[in-house]
Structure 1
């Protein structure tokens, strides 16, 4: 895969392993995560939505057996929602509004399925079923991951506190030094996003 953001990208030089030329592909799958050459998340989001949609069909079938709402919510939380949150710290900050809305619509479908005729709007359903929006969930999961980095062997993935760089103690010196971003693409990538979350909630 050749990562490039040009509209008309040049052809990369051929690479060979044991006289076999490697094929250039527009995307590849790494540990269940679809990485595109333009670093967008269309394939990943569409794949998650399709897989979760198939699971929602199972939820609809179980509803016909008159399972209690609590059991249906547990099934959704255990078997459907994890699909929509797989590897979320990697891609959440790069979602477009359309992609975020697509994922949220799947949870709305789940709420309508679980509540049936008593469904009276998404906000009411979330409160009644004890759920939060997927957007809120994703931010919480990313914050939890960022906090875990601070206390792990991967601490250097995040930037150091500002005081460690400047040597001065100021009101904000305890905050992490947010990486400078020349492009929105980098600004909305994982590390700057996780850094902002830590500074917003914990520092």
Structure 2
């Protein structure tokens, strides 16, 4: 098989930052690469991806401000946000969200976009974020992303072609006498603990 050196890249997942000698092939070695809209970094974090998403979403909010100036009502502005803006913040969240949810500053970056959007929609900078969510009947992004992961995991459970990605059904109860639905994943590292399979198993068992 011939490798296309123009289209191909080498990304070594190297969270421990060990020395790496690239192979002698005419392919460039990169520190990050975008695959299906998600930026993967060599240190196995999604910081670059979140920064890119929030930057793009904040730029797009300028369109929402322009729509408001044309006299659109609150309902129309909310629909525009839900159809065009929020999907940017949710795209492929089962891949990156478990680790981001437990990284406070990255979650704050995502939340800042929705905070700004709700203030544009309501034309009120003085109202608190909690009150804007109640007024517009919106969820916080943290709850919303958690629900999307739960929904995606349930789809995998019901799909025979992908059922083996997730743990088997549990036949016992936990020490807290809670009946488990899936066998809990044993994670040796925090990095794996913050990935999709252990994260979904945890929230699915507690749901």
* TM-score, scaled relative to structure 2: 0.87
Question: SS state of the match for residue 12, structure 1?
Answer: coil
Determine if contact 1:88/1:138 at 8 Å carries over to the other structure. Answer: yes
Q: Secondary structure at the match of 1:52?
A: helix
1:157-172 → structure 2 map (5 Å cutoff): 157-163=165-171, 170=173
Q: 1:49 to 1:26 in 2, by over 3 A?
A: same
Q: CA deviation at 1:173?
A: 6.4
1:28-47 map, 5 Å: 28-47=33-52
Moved more, 63-72 or 117-126: 117-126
What's 2:12 paired with?
Answer: 2
Matched-pair contact (CA < 8 Å) for 1:111–1:119? no
- Is the counterpart of residue 23 in structure 1 residue 33 in structure 2? no
Q: 1:2·1:12 contact (CA, 8 Å) conserved in 2?
A: no
* Structure 1 residue 162 displacement after superposition: 2.7
Question: Do structure 1's residue 194 and structure 2's residue 204 form an aligned pair?
Answer: no
Tell me, yes or no, if structure 1 residue 111 matches structure 2 residue 118: yes
Deviation of 1:12 after TM superposition, in Å, equals 3.4
Q: How many aligned positions are there?
A: 191
Q: 1:175 aligned to 2:181?
A: yes
Matches of 2:141 and 2:74, distance apart in 1 = 19
Q: 1:174 to 1:6 in 2, by over 3 A?
A: closer
Deviation at 1:65, TM superposition (A): 1.2
Cα offset for 1:190?
Answer: 1.1
Q: Distance in 2 between matches of 1:180 and 1:137?
A: 26
Q: CA RMSD in A?
A: 1.6
User: How many angstroms apart in 1 are the aligned matches of 2:24 and 2:137?
Assistant: 53
Aligned to 2:53: 48
Counterpart residue number, 1:146: 153
State whether structure 2 residue 92 is matched by structure 1 residue 87: yes
Q: CA deviation at 1:192?
A: 0.6
What is residue 12 of structure 1 aligned with on the other side? Answer: 21
Equivalents in 1 of 2:91, 2:113: separation in Å? Answer: 15
Q: Using the TM superposition, give the Cα deviation of residue 156 of structure 1 relative to its aligned residue in structure 2, in angstroms.
A: 0.6
Structure 1: tracts of 5 or more residues without a match:
164-168
TM (norm. structure 1) is 0.89
Detail structure 1 runs of 4+ shifted over 3 Å in the superposition: 169-174
Which position in structure 1 is the counterpart of 2:131?
A: 124
